[in-house]
Chain A
């Protein structure tokens, strides 16, 4: 049995805000197994974004222990965290976060700039990823020439391109209409079927219902854990 992709043990996060310490997460225990398709849900300020940032090594935790694929990543340096994000985690954001001056293809190549395969391999893998999300014919388009759904597909390709173990999506449908949102969720589900662990943050119950497992946060605590 492989180690869980994510294991949180008593993970807490406090921020100083206007002279006071705000507790965004207050001791979360959680395991996410390989190949899960899971939603983190909860009202605004419940700590779901913070949890996602910590899981994605974008942010550090204040107390507790975080193991990624069995490896303790609680107290890595900035550069070590950058390397892990680069090779093992793919990100999808609510506002797509594509570089405006770069073509779709260049945006997908971006993570590989810091992973350093050769130019030819980079191009080939980026094209394959665009193919996988159905955007190969838009490779040379700039983000502003693409619709929101198309931009999010490019972002999914970017998240895929380094073949990560884990894809984290922060409100991936938040800026999309319902129909396009469903398409993106279908895309993420198909990735899950290929064996990639997908965790997304959402407050949309419909999106939540499409997931195999849902956890609910409230005031920085794990309130409920539902498996479908």
Chain B
């Protein structure tokens, strides 16, 4: 072991003797390992951030959108055709065993007034089970109840952004009086802040009222019983595809769609977003991994080149070592250790560079960029591997040198 210590000390002394040459040789490894570290940490940070946004939308959630209108070949997009009804949501709750909770939403942008302040936000008419499906906590008070539905009560639950814009700091929102389209409502609850959804929309800029109140007193007179979206949660992550199938089957039957005809609705699972995000991540990972791999190979070739030069330059030294009793293996180990010292040192510098870059990216984007020990371990192992692989050939050249020739070398 102490032989290795001596060899490493001598190798470092050799590297220090040719600082510029050593640094340039290590540059490939530094960049390669740095790229690996940044890739792993930023990739994980970005992915974690996307996955968190998606899971914040609601666990195991599926959305049912009404179909598209079609006027003279122009399609209106999802939700433009009023095909979904409250009765559909109730039927799903009754008849689909893979579905845990169902809610439905009718929404419209409205002007809301509280005292001297006013704010334009999206008003949702929904049911008592909405926060369960969306996995959304209350900050204060309570959410709408079935009692509120039956009585079409003038009560509202506010998102955090709406509270901020309608009430002064310190002023209690709970029990406050607001007016929506001049209809008076009492605030009975405030929702916890949920932040932006994957599209960047502020989910807290919303206001909830009972769907019965919404359709009778606010906007629903034109199309009674029609809803924009049915949202539901599957009983487990595993049951999401099963729930999707059940809902599709039930709605086709209820909407009397002939076999082979196009659905007048669409069911979308949120894990499709997650899969999409994963796929993007995978492509990015492959790209960065190839950059890192190429850089490591180029760096390795650089080390091999310098080691070959070094073996030639030090022919005499090799001869002397052999004359005083170094065996082939001793010489091989010495030069292999030097190559590895160079590549591992490059790996360490690369790791520092990568950690720095990852921190900078994390700071700039607000993603958490976790630096984990296994990434650093992997990088070190990789650089040592590069050293052994590309150092072996020069080291073998050194160990097979003819002793008499080596001693005569000038």
Contact = CB atoms under 8 A, between A and B. Distances in A.
B404 A79 contact: no
Interface in A80-99: 82-83, 85-87, 91, 93, 97-99
B20 interface: no
A158 B324 contact: yes
Contact of A85 (B6, B325, B328): B325
B407 A58 contact: yes
Given A53-B404, A58-B403, A59-B403, A78 B327 contact: yes
Contact of A82 (B6, B320, B327): B327
A110 interface: yes
B318 to A, nearest CB: 11
Nearest to B329: A79
Interface stretch (A28-36, A113-121, A177-185): A113-121
Contact of A116 (B3, B17, B404): B3
B316 interface: yes
A9 interface: no
A59 B324 contact: no
B294 interface: no
Given A101-B10, A119-B2, A114 B327 contact: yes
A85 B404 contact: no
A101 B329 CA distance: 22
B317 interface: yes
B320 A83 contact: no
Nearest to B321: A110
A215 interface: no
A114 B10 CA distance: 15
Given A97-B407, A99-B317, A101-B10, A58 B323 contact: yes
Contact of A110 (B316, B324, B327): B324
Given A78-B327, A93-B407, A110-B324, A102 B10 contact: yes
B207 interface: no
Interface in B304-335: 316-317, 319-330
A111 interface: yes
Interface string A118-134: 11000000000000000
B404 A59 contact: yes
Nearest to B400: A78
B324 A111 contact: yes
Contacts of B317: 99
A97 B326 contact: no
Secondary structure call for the B interface: helix
A97 B320 contact: yes
B13 interface: yes
Nearest to A97: B320
A137 to B, nearest CB: 23
A170 B14 CA distance: 29
A91 B17 contact: no
Contacts of A101: 10, 13-14, 17
Interface in A56-110: 56, 58-59, 78-79, 82-83, 85-87, 91, 93, 97-99, 101-102, 110
A83 B327 CA distance: 8
Contact of A99 (B17, B320, B327): B320
A83 B6 CA distance: 20
A165 B401 CA distance: 27
Given A58-B403, A58-B407, A111 B325 contact: yes
Interface in B2-58: 2-3, 6, 10, 13-14, 17
Contacts of A79: 327-329
B316 A114 contact: no
Contacts of B322: 82
Interface string B46-72: 000000000000000000000000000
A192 to B, nearest CB: 21
B323 A91 contact: yes
Interface string A138-169: 00000000000000000000100010000000
B323 A85 contact: yes
Contacts of B316: 97
A83 B325 contact: yes
A115 B404 contact: no
Interface in B91-123: none
Contacts of A59: 403-404
Nearest to A107: B320
A115 B325 contact: yes
Contacts of B13: 101
A82 B326 contact: yes
Nearest to A102: B10
A59 B141 CA distance: 96
Contacts of B321: 110, 114
A97 to B, nearest CB: 5
A114 B330 CA distance: 8
B313 to A, nearest CB: 11
Given A82-B327, A102-B10, A118 B2 contact: yes
Nearest to B404: A59
B407 A114 contact: no
A214 to B, nearest CB: 25
Q: What 6 A-B pairs have minimum CB-CB distances, sorted nearest first?
A: A86-B325, A111-B324, A114-B325, A82-B327, A79-B327, A97-B320
Interface of A: 53, 56, 58-59, 78-79, 82-83, 85-87, 91, 93, 97-99, 101-102, 110-111, 113-116, 118-119, 158, 162
19 contacts: A53-B404, A58-B404, A59-B403, A59-B404, A78-B327, A79-B327, A82-B328, A85-B323, A87-B325, A91-B323, A93-B407, A97-B316, A97-B319, A97-B323, A97-B407, A99-B317, A101-B13, A101-B17, A114-B327
Interface of B: 2-3, 6, 10, 13-14, 17, 316-317, 319-330, 403-404, 407
